[in-house]
Amino acid sequence: MIDYHVHTHHSIDAEGTIDEYCSQAVKRGLAEICFTNHCELDPMRDDSYIRFDHRKILFSRDGVRRLQQEVFGARDRFRKHGLQVKFGLEVGFYRGIESVLQNMIDGLELDFLIGSIHCLNHVCIDSSREAHLYFSEHDADHLMNEYYTEITALIKSGLFDTIAHLDVYKKYGIQFYGGRIHAAPAELLREIFSLMKETETALEINTAGLRKINQLYPSKDIMTIARDQGMKLFTIGSDSHTVADLGKGISEGIAYAMAYGFDMLCSYSGRKRLINSL
Ligand SMILES: [Zn+2]
Ligand SMILES: [Zn+2]
């Protein structure tokens, strides 16, 4: 089992040290864990931080280098326990970020890069405190159109290995829009999956949905469209923000992906894709 979406206390919304997660991974029989702390770079927002020693500092190249060193330390310490430790980031994408991000990661020894859309119009739709600010201004169709347009830009940037929690807007959108939030725009999604195939971008099966809204991300109707477009590459992650959630739902997530024809579970080393047998 592998878990390719994990936040430690270096993310300002998460807790648990790298070593605590690694020990838990060994206990739970994971073969591999990839740390993917948040990399938010929007100057219009106040969440571009990384945390060390209980203090948050502005996100910077030096900060990511320090994080890399900490992950590499754990990689060495936990090798003897049979655990592979990988270094990744989850980037909150918005258009215009491309060169800033490239400069930020240039020269780093990253294994894996997740692309996510967390914000629309600089409002975090994945935050209980903020989502209503966007939702109260726009109907569900507008939200999904805008969200998937940003997802398209994210894929076209060519910067990312996988796309996280594709229908995460449902987490708070369900309360706001009710059933309308489930009407995924099929035409847009077909174009998105065909673009993902073309660019060999993987789709993440994110098990946090099970804990938040009792469904895996993405939902079954979206998986059906992905299957019909011939998607095969996927990554899997718990998106854990606490040690207790590490590895949760992974077996279920893999079975779910396979049921929709995804048969290429990807892991990454130095940004190179490896296919795991299922
Ligand atoms: Zn995310
Ligand atoms: Zn995450």
pLDDT at 197: 98
Share of the chain above pLDDT 90, in %: 99
Ligand 1 centroid distance, CA of 186 (Å): 23
Ligand 2 centroid distance, CA of 266 (Å): 17
Tokens encoding 7: 């936040």
Ligand 1 centroid distance, CA of 235 (Å): 14
Distances (CA, A) of 158 to 31, 114, 115, 186, 198: 28, 11, 10, 23, 11
Residue 157: helix, strand or coil by DSSP? helix
Identify whether the C-beta of residue 59 lies closer than 8 Å to the C-beta of residue 92.
Answer: no
Q: Does the pLDDT at position 221 exceed 90?
A: yes
Q: Does the pLDDT at position 278 exceed 90?
A: no
Number of domains in the chain: 1
pLDDT at 277: 83
Ligand 2 centroid distance, CA of 237 (Å): 9
pLDDT at 152: 98
Tokens encoding 36: 């993917």
The vertex-93 CA angle with 92 and 95, nearest 5°, equals: 150
| Ligand nearest to C-alpha 117 | 1
pLDDT at 256: 98
Ligand 1 centroid distance, CA of 80 (Å): 31
Q: What is the mean pLDDT of residues 23-29?
A: 98
Burial 49-87 (b: 16+ CB within 10 A, else e): bbbeeeeeeebeeebbeebbebbeebbeebeeeebbbbb
Tokens encoding 101: 């991000």
DSSP, res 219: P
Q: Does the pLDDT at position 184 exceed 90?
A: no
Q: What is the pLDDT of residues 73-97, one digit of tens each?
A: 999 999 999 999 999 999 999 999 9
CATH of the domain at 55: 3.20.20.140
Q: What is the pLDDT of residues 88-131, one digit of tens each?
A: 999 999 999 999 999 999 999 999 999 999 999 999 999 999 99
Ligand 1 centroid distance, CA of 78 (Å): 26
Average confidence score pLDDT of the chain: 97
Q: What is the dihedral of CA 58, 59, 60, 66, to 10 degrees?
A: 100
Q: Domain of 42?
A: 2-276
Closest CA to 61 of 92, 107, 95: 107
Ligand 2 centroid distance, CA of 220 (Å): 21
Ligand 2 centroid distance, CA of 165 (Å): 8
Cα 155 to its chain centre, rounded Å, is 13
Ligand 2 centroid distance, CA of 77 (Å): 25
Q: What is the pTM of this model?
A: 0.97
